[in-house]
Amino acid sequence: MKTLRLNNGLEIPAIGFGTYKASLEAIRTAIEEGGRYLDNASFYGNAKDVSEAISQTHTPRKELFIASKIWKSEMGYRETHEAFSRMLDELGTDYLDVLFIHWPRPDVVRQDWRKLDLDTWRAMEELYSSGKVRALGLSNFLPYHAENIIKNCTITPQVAQLEFHPGHTQTFALNYYREHNILLQAWSPVARGRVFDDVLIRELSGKYGITPAQVCISFCLHEGVMPLPRASTSERVRENFACLNVSFSDEDISRIENMPPSGWSGEHPDRERVKI
């Protein structure tokens, strides 16, 4: 599979598999079909299913890239070390490939979030330096959240995650991470299907002979963003991997980039969740 190189030299698969709300069977299917990057988080509550799926497929640990995230209630120096130990136990591994802070703020009213982020990051840097983590990341950090880390860290983040898909490309944030040589990953790269009926997505699906989901995933790849799609069937997993071979015209890329806002999940790091 095509790989992407992080700013510390680590190469990771160009497409990952999002395990949020994924069953053991779905995770196992993803691995069996060649999925090697598994995006997990303590908040997901299914780390043991990830471990069991790996065990059932008899896939060597060294072939996999396992990511997890420090949840809002686990932030802080001591809390991060404790949460990391739990992650390893539940995932059945002795190291992680990528460790993220899941959200920059534990809640929208917390005023000391900058210090909390730095305390969390300091613990993560120690885990990285000890070899227990191979890369560090920020999830749902907008540029001004990330600046707090980047200006005060010893180890620069290698990866960032944001909601990213046609209709919600967060161009300013994307360019910020590009400028800092930090790989952006897309959670919800197909917008949970909310953009599948968009007139442009339907048109491009027909034009290129691919599914609407493949249009979304291929767009991410074209933008240099690593998509983390979910899938529950072998066919869907194979479709996702096939996106590595899709190529759009420059005009069609521009049309996607300039789509009207659509498909947003309602999640924002500085606001209460919007029910959509």
User: What amino acid positions are annotated as catalytic residues?
Assistant: 44
Report the alpha-carbon distance of residue 5 to residue 3 in Å, rounded: 7
Using CA atoms, how far apart are residues 108 and 106, in angstroms rounded to an integer?
Answer: 7
Burial class (CB in 10 A: 0-12, 13-18, 19+), 144: exposed
Contact 93, 59 (CB under 8 A): no
C-beta separation of 131 from 95 below 8 A? yes
Q: Give the helix/strand (H/E) hosting 221.
A: helix 212-222
Tell me which residue of 30, 107, 45, 99 sits closest to 69, measured CA to CA.
99
Q: How many whole angstroms separate alpha carbon 95 and alpha carbon 91?
A: 9
Residue 190: count of CB within 10 angstroms of its CB? 26
